Amino acid sequence: MPVYIATQAFLDGVDSVPFIWPILKILPWLGALYLVKIFFSGASNTNERNMHGKVVMVTGGTSGIGEAVVRGLASRGAQIVLLTQHALSDPFIVEYIEDIRKDTDNELITAEQVDLASLHSIRTFATKWIDNAPPRRLDMVVLCANTQTPGSGMVKSTTEGVELNWQVNYLANFHLLSILSPALRAQPPDRDVRVLFGTCSSYMGGDLLHITQQSPSNQTKGKARGASSAQQVQEPTKFSPGNAYATSKLALTIFALAFTKHLSTYKRPDGSPSNTKVLLVDPGFCRTPGTRRWLTWGSLTGLLLYLFLYPFWWMILKSPDMGSQSFLFAGMAEKFRGVGKEYGRDAKGAVLIKECHERPFRRLEIVDDEAAQKALWEYSERMVQEAEKRGAMERARVKKEEQEAREEGVAVKEMEDYTAKVGKKEGVKKEGSRRSKKAG
């Protein structure tokens, strides 16, 4: 068809082609829209790596970017261990795993039930994972799980009393990796081990002054020693759902750099340096369920507005597959294979990846401050201990109530059986019985 039209235009003139001028006017606009879409789609991963035999643990792998990452790694032969809040007998997770296996031609896709909103659930899984001799193989941990509370007035907490954004985006990752760190350290020295954190540029707006600044008593001592006025007057930003997400991402960034140093300080029995590389990945803005929920403010009106503006969102937001490209780059690029002088990399440094390129960290005065890292680590450990105590008390309360309900039900049943038996023995006519009806 294009050849025929071009021939007609050449022989009979351009005006002989129907609707040629409206088409020629529209083409530049279509070309411009195409270039805009390509620009906002971001960079693609061009690295490849043989993933056969590699064991990859993934959080948040059942939707959005995490699902795209799982498909990308599974299609290359990786053995995937999905950490999901769904019960393993849930039809959704069963069908999801079957679909992934079929689409990627990879049967090595399994799942473990781990609720990231529960520190008890995380500990149960992680301790079971490391309680194995010899240590289980673990080549990569991909932390894609993410949540963001919509709106400006809603504060949600877990059953253990932890704010939801802080729990899922940061504390769950801290708790999981703190327990799994022996498993990472125990991997053979020639194994390429990587830990990928899903982050966001919003960390630059976070505030951890309530954790990293001096306590009031210490500030008083600081004044006596002549501490600077800037250190004395700093006050934390009041918590709100609006800054909860950014604060959780800032804490995650600080922890990622601290975790790298934590791994590197371990002296392996074989004398080899740490072989675990920590990488933070910023996938950019994508059309994921979480982004949609945030843009719509969790309301029906917002959802209708989102649908009305969908062509705009489709244009400027990445697809989940394009968002996964930076994760795949971080997991496959050969230059991230190892740490240490032989690889030209500092064993104590993490790497930030965005658009399949290394990027410098922002707010280095905070994220790379060892005092801030230590304060956050100690604060997180105390928070985990307190939250787990609250969770244990809540589980004990629920268990006691269930036990009392069962005992009460048994007692009522026994009383009913006894009453029926005594009534029958003494010849008492029960209401509604055949004898009572006959007597009536």
Tell me which long-range contacts 365-372 makes (C-beta under 8 A, separation of at least 24). 366/208, 366/212, 366/250, 366/254, 367/203, 367/250, 367/253, 367/254, 367/257, 368/257, 369/212, 371/212, 372/208, 372/212, 372/254
Q: Which of 88, 105, 116 is nearest to 173 (CA)?
A: 116
Q: Which of 37, 33, 41 is nearest to 283 (CA)?
A: 41
Sign, Cα dihedral of 267, 269, 275, 278? negative
Tell me which long-range contacts 7-14 makes (C-beta under 8 A, separation of at least 24). none
CA distance 356 to 352: 10
Is it true that the peptide bond before 134 is cis, omega within 30 degrees of 0? yes
Q: Which two tokens stand for residue 414?
A: 């026994």
Q: Which of 222, 64, 48, 207 is nearest to 145 (CA)?
A: 64
Question: Which amino acid belongs to residue 41?
Answer: S
CA distance 124 to 114: 8
Q: Which of 25, 54, 249, 318 is catalytic?
A: 249
Q: Which two tokens stand for residue 219?
A: 């500030």
Catalytic annotation on 249? yes
Q: Which two tokens stand for residue 154?
A: 């809603």
Sign, Cα dihedral of 289, 293, 295, 296? positive
Write the burial class of residue 400 (CB in 10 Å: 0-12 exposed, 13-18 middle, 19+ buried).
exposed
| DSSP sequence for 345-383 | B-TT--EEEETTEEEPPS-HHHHT-HHHHHHHHHHHHHH
Helix residue ranges per DSSP H, 105-190: 119-130, 164-166, 172-185
Would you please indicate which residues are annotated as catalytic (active-site) residues? 249
